[in-house]
């Protein structure tokens, strides 16, 4: 191990971003958060956009602060959420702010596309679950709308690749982030010409195709001047934040499932080959790219988005208060289907949940604690439902669930998840995405052993907590109720 060398992880989620400096030592991993900043959606003209320039400004600020650290920076890696992209003109300039995946223009977009291209054909080629905001359907929507930026674009860069381009001047298309688009052939692990053609595109409209661990370029002279850094390389890590998070699962054996818990909950297993058949398609499971040639067989579940939206009405009440109120409320009084379309884009989430329970013949929600408990219990029971499907699809048994990401700090939900699924739950690391980002950089630099061995070192270096299932009969009865009221 090279103790004096450090790596920079730039980790951008749908609500916030952070810059972290990490150093791998013989004892494990030492990290330091350099800066943290919000990531706001911009609503203009009935559309939702990401503020690319504000993200870039915060990236530069993080690099400027990291340059003052007393360590040698070996490389930089960037990961973000999936599917969204930036349109770049023939002259290399950004044509407009990128649309956000929550923009309403793609509502019903998948079915409109399937009127031209059979759904089964798309799944056979890509193995990707159908979600209206997938890049394939965004492209099709922009084609239909004759969007000016889409028509003028010389290149399309997915979000981490766009930010790497601003830092290095080099355009790439990283495999794991591209795999979320529903434009990558799951067998060849390259962009699929047939699907590109269906939306009027060719492979040359994207950057050089790269895989986790490959070099994008070095910081431009301008960025070096603005940050005080030298010609530091930018490495294509697992550009999709979930792919980076899964790389950091502190597993000591292969028979595990993971739950990346944040705004979204993503539950899955690692496989070496895609799982594509009628049942996987019917259950809408996805086969996304992972590190070291792995496939992430997973399911998207609405996660803490439900609670975060409700908190907008509650004047910044603390999580500890909400959890205390939930614990004091009646168990299993109200349950919802977290993935019901009603909760995708509500004007008021609290009102949407209250209406749902009444419409499904349950008692009206009277207190905030009842509502929070409803969200947590419903998520735990939904995890049980998805895990049951996952176990039928997985090529290996599942003996333990690793909860990673910000949701791993939620002790109440972790315990209820263990209760619901009837398996041990290991929680941590909370900053799994940043850790996975750092890990891929270290492996690319030859700084450390194999991925499996690095995972074991993470398990030793990061505080973890194990939750053992409790009250199995009570939770089995609750699951039966959940299935009845959410039909």
Q: How confident is the model at residue 257 (pLDDT cuts 50, 70, 90)?
A: very high
* Percentage with pLDDT > 70 across the chain: 99
Angle at 407 between CA 447 and CA 311, to 5 degrees: 140
Tokens of residue 259, six digits: 């739950």
Q: What is the mean pLDDT of residues 413-421?
A: 98
Q: What is the mean pLDDT of residues 390-406?
A: 97
In contact, 144 and 171? CB cutoff 8 Å? no
Tokens of residue 165, six digits: 């381009």
Q: How confident is the model at residue 3 (pLDDT cuts 50, 70, 90)?
A: very low
Please state whether beta strands 190-191 and 184-185 pair in parallel, antiparallel, or not at all (unpaired): antiparallel
193 phi/psi in degrees, rounded to 5:
-60, -35
- Tokens 């209760």 -> residue: 419
Q: Could you report the per-residue pLDDT of 20-31, keeping only the tens digit for each? A: 999 988 777 899
Q: What is the mean pLDDT of residues 248-262?
A: 94
Give me the torsion for CA of 414, 419, 424, 430, rounded to 10°.
-10
| pLDDT surpasses 60 at 1 | no
Candidates 140, 147, 241, 447; catalytic one:
241
Q: How confident is the model at residue 243 (pLDDT cuts 50, 70, 90)?
A: very high
| pLDDT surpasses 50 at 181 | yes
Of residues 175, 158, 156, the one with CA closest to residue 237? 175
pLDDT at 112: 98
154 phi/psi in degrees, rounded to 5:
-90, -35
Helix spans in 171-254 (H): 175-179, 193-198, 221-227, 241-247
First to last CA, the chain: 54
Q: Is 84 helix (H, G, I), strand (E, B) or coil?
A: coil
Instruction: Work out the mean pLDDT of the chain and round it to a whole number.
Output: 95
The fold for domain 5-240 equals Nucleotidyltransferase; domain 5 (3.30.420)
Of residues 250, 243, 239, the one with CA closest to residue 209? 239
Q: What is the mean pLDDT of residues 364-379?
A: 98
Q: How confident is the model at residue 454 (pLDDT cuts 50, 70, 90)?
A: confident
> Hey, what CATH class is 249-428+449-487 in?
alpha beta
E strand or H helix that includes residue 218: strand 214-218
Of residues 274, 339, 279, the one with CA closest to residue 306? 339
Q: Could you report the per-residue pLDDT of 124-169, keeping only the tens digit for each? A: 999 999 999 999 999 999 999 999 999 999 999 999 999 999 999 9
DSSP per residue, 17-75: EEEEEEEEETTEEEEEEEEEEE--EEEETTEEEE-HHHHHHHHHHHHHHHTTSSSEEEE
Q: Which residues pair with 25 in a beta bridge?
A: 28
Domain coordinates in residue numbering, the chain = 5-240, 249-428+449-487
Q: Could you report the per-residue pLDDT of 327-336, keeping only the tens digit for each? A: 999 999 999 9
pLDDT at 94: 98
Decide if 241 is catalytic.
yes
Pairwise CA distance, residues 436 & 458, whole Å: 10
Pairwise CA distance, residues 235 & 61, whole Å: 19
Q: How confident is the model at residue 392 (pLDDT cuts 50, 70, 90)?
A: very high
pLDDT at 2: 45
| Same topology between domain 5-240 and domain 249-428+449-487 | yes
Q: Could you report the per-residue pLDDT of 265-299, keeping only the tens digit for each? A: 999 999 999 999 999 999 999 999 999 999 999 99
| pLDDT surpasses 80 at 448 | no
Identify the sign of the CA torsion 20, 404, 393, 340: negative
Inter-CA distances, 392 with 268, 280, 398, Å: 12, 9, 10
Q: What is the mean pLDDT of residues 83-107?
A: 97
Q: What is the mean pLDDT of residues 29-47?
A: 95
Question: How many residues are listed for the chain in this entry?
Answer: 487
Q: What is the mean pLDDT of residues 6-19?
A: 95
Q: Which residues pair with 256 in a beta bridge?
A: 400
Q: Is 396 helix (H, G, I), strand (E, B) or coil?
A: coil
| Cα 387 from chain centroid (whole Å) | 18
- Tokens 């054996």 -> residue: 253
Q: What is the mean pLDDT of residues 10-27?
A: 91
E strand or H helix that includes residue 371: helix 368-393
């Amino acid at each position: 191990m090279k103790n004096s060398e450090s790596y920079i992880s730039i980790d951008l989620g749908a609500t916030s971003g952070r810059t972290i400096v990490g150093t791998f030592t013989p004892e494990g991993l030492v990290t330091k958060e350099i800066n943290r900043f919000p990531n706001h959606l911009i609503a203009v003209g009935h559309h939702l956009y990401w503020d690319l320039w504000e993200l870039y400004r915060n990236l530069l600020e993080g690099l400027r602060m990291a340059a003052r650290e007393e360590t040698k920076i070996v490389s930089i890696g960037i990961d973000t959420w999936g599917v969204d992209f930036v349109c770049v003109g023939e002259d290399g300039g950004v044509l407009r702010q990128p649309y956000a995946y929550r923009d309403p223009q793609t509502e019903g977009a998948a079915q409109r596309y399937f009127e031209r291209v059979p759904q089964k054909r798309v799944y056979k080629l890509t193995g990707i679950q159908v979600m209206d905001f997938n890049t394939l359907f965004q492209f099709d929507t922009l084609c239909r709308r004759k969007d000016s930026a889409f028509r003028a674009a010389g290149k399309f860069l997915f979000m981490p690749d766009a930010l790497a381009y601003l830092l290095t001047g080099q355009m790439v298309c990283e495999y794991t982030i591209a795999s979320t688009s529903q434009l990558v052939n799951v067998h060849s692990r390259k962009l699929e010409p047939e699907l590109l053609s269906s939306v009027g595109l060719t492979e040359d409209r994207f950057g050089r195709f790269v895989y986790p661990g490959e070099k994008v370029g070095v910081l431009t002279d301008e960025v070096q001047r603005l940050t005080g850094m030298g010609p530091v390389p930018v490495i294509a890590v697992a550009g999709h934040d979930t792919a980076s998070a899964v790389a950091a699962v502190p597993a000591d054996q292969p028979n595990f499932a993971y739950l990346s818990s944040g705004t979204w909950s993503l539950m899955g297993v690692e496989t070496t080959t895609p799982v594509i058949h009628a049942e996987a398609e019917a259950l809408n499971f996805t086969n996304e790219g992972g590190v070291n040639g792995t496939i992430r067989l997973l399911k998207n579940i609405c996660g803490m988005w439900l609670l975060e939206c409700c908190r907008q009405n509650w004047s910044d009440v603390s999580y500890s208060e909400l959890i205390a109120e939930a614990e004091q409320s009646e168990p299993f009084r109200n349950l919802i289907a977290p993935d019901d379309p009603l909760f995708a884009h509500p004007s008021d989430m609290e009102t949407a949940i209250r209406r749902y329970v009444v419409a499904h013949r349950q008692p009206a929600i009277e207190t905030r604690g009842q509502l929070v408990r409803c969200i947590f219990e419903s998520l735990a029971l939904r995890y049980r439902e998805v895990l049951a499907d996952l176990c039928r699809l997985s090529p290996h048994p599942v003996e333990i669930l690793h909860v990673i990401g910000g949701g791993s700090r939620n002790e109440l939900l972790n315990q209820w998840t263990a209760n619901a699924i009837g398996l041990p739950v290991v929680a941590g690391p909370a900053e799994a995405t940043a850790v996975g980002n750092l890990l891929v950089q270290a492996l690319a630099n030859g700084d450390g052993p194999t991925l499996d061995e690095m995972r074991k070192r993470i398990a030793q270096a990061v505080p973890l907590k194990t939750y053992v299932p409790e009250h199995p009969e009570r939770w089995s009865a609750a699951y039966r109720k959940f299935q009845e009221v959410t039909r």
